[in-house]
Structure 1
Amino acid sequence: MIPTQRTAEPAAPRTARAATAPRSASPRTSRRDAAAVEALVTAHLPLVGHVVREVAMRLPAHVDSGDLAGAGAAGLLQAARGYDEETGVPFTRYASTRIRGAVLDELRVMDLVSRGVRSRGREMHGVEDSLTATLGRRPTREELAGAMGVGTAEVDRRRAESGVTVSSLDAPVAGSGDGGEALARTWAEGLADERPGPEELALRAERMRVMGAGVAALPERLRRVVVGTFLEQRPLAEVAEELGVTESRVSQLRTEALGLLRAGMEAVLEPQRPAEAPVGVAARRREAFYADVALHAAAAGVGSAARSAQAREELAARAAAPVRTAASVAAVAAAAAVPAQRQAVRPAPWATRQALPA
């Protein structure tokens, strides 16, 4: 059999056929150059503001339009890169759809509640509005649960979920003052934690220890006035009767004690005082009181551990010193009394000489 011309033609290889076949440029796979995309985005940039304003009309006031505008601009850029003129769809309509979708995606990201929760909430509110129109009143939990075909617990859960709202911390919170004037502050100011921090708590504890040291270092009379009037909350008349003075004198002693306490605390907490030698008895007494307050404060834990131990030992020695001094004074007084008694009993020398015979 003689092959015909058609059968005699060899089959072209697939690779060669694919190489020689004309390839039609696909608009979806081709990419627009950067200059054309930029020109398209610049010309239709006002469309972003129009779509954002249209969507924001149904949104609460705390939603930031700037974030939505940024998402809309990103959607416009994607629309400019993927637009195909051969579809016959105007770019404005195509870009509006892409911009709206980008804005809605941004809203879903900003929402703390899932789409399912929002959908169930809208369903419940729709049934509730229908029952309200039918009954002429708001339905009860049982009526709403029966119309929805769920239990009352599910109704409560959906109400709790739909009641979740998102608000900006920079949003003003309106209120009224004592005089009826309008006050405005942000949620961030209202939610600020006004509790003291660790540093402030440490400073307060140190001040309290220094104050206790100052009270312990006060003279006995002033310390009894401070303890009786402030710590024990006793009336002035009772403290005056205990001290054997008038109430006005107790008030004067209290003022004097408060002045000493304030000065002693400042000397310990703010020791930047001029190093000058005290002149006069009063100045020396004040310096001695300041040193005594510092000693009691160190014993209470203000300062290093070594200084605290040293201060406690010094205070213990000081507390034991008056007992030994009193005993030694009594012993010295008794010892001094014995020679006096002996001298009183012993006869005078001249009397003895007179008693001798001539």
Structure 2
Amino acid sequence: MTRLNHQEKAKEFDKWISWKQEGNKDAETELIMRFLPLVTKVANRLAIGLPATVDKEDLISFGRFGLLDALQKFDHTRGLQFETYAMWRIRGAMIDGLRENDWIPRTVRDKAKKIEEAYTRLEQEKLRTPTDAEVCEYLGMTEKELQQVLYDTSLAAMVSIDEAVGEEDEQKTARHSYIVDEMTPRPESVAEAKSLKEVLSKCIDKLPEKERLVVSLFYFEELTLSEIADVMNLSPSRISQLHSKAIFRLRSALTRWKSQLL
């Protein structure tokens, strides 16, 4: 979607007024069509590391419901950017759709939890990032088995980073949104958001080089799985594994940060 100029923004705002305040269904349809490409954009980004059994068309189908929900609940009078709000809602709808359709088996969730615990325990014991060999020894598996588990649990890792942080449903913000540079508009949340960003920033800096590059390219440069694979001259499955390991480490840091607040 292209960035709008001032005149185009004014026209778009008029459509919101026409629909929300005057009940113009044509204006509603125009807004739906205007923002429909966001669904495909989110689906393409969420597809990084997902198992081949997950059909992107299913993600798009789930995401359309998220877009409609975002359009209904968005308050156009607050002067906020709809795209940011909508992409969070669309992403949430896709994640909910995957959960409801049981795309993540219990065995996969259990493996993901064990890997996360391994990274957390080893980082606390060694006061540094553990190597793959150390994680394998801790879990009692070969490095090949670990890489397969990381690939199999990539969806679980993605879901974990999309879990919301907050109290009320309307105010929740997904953890991954703190990785990109977005501040919550509510004053009482600024301190928490700033603290969380600092924690994540330090954790990202400590990631192994390849994992740090994957996080940077995906969350900051907004490259897709295939694009990152091309840049790093690695296979998409390897990028998925690196992404999974990075997310486990970030999640571990978030867990420690959260425990310090209690």
What TM-score comes out, normalization by structure 1 length? 0.28
Which structure has the higher relative contact order (CA within 8 Å, separation 6+)?
2
Instruction: Please identify the structure whose Cα radius of gyration is greater.
Output: 1
Q: If the length of structure 2 is used for normalisation, what is the TM-score? A: 0.37
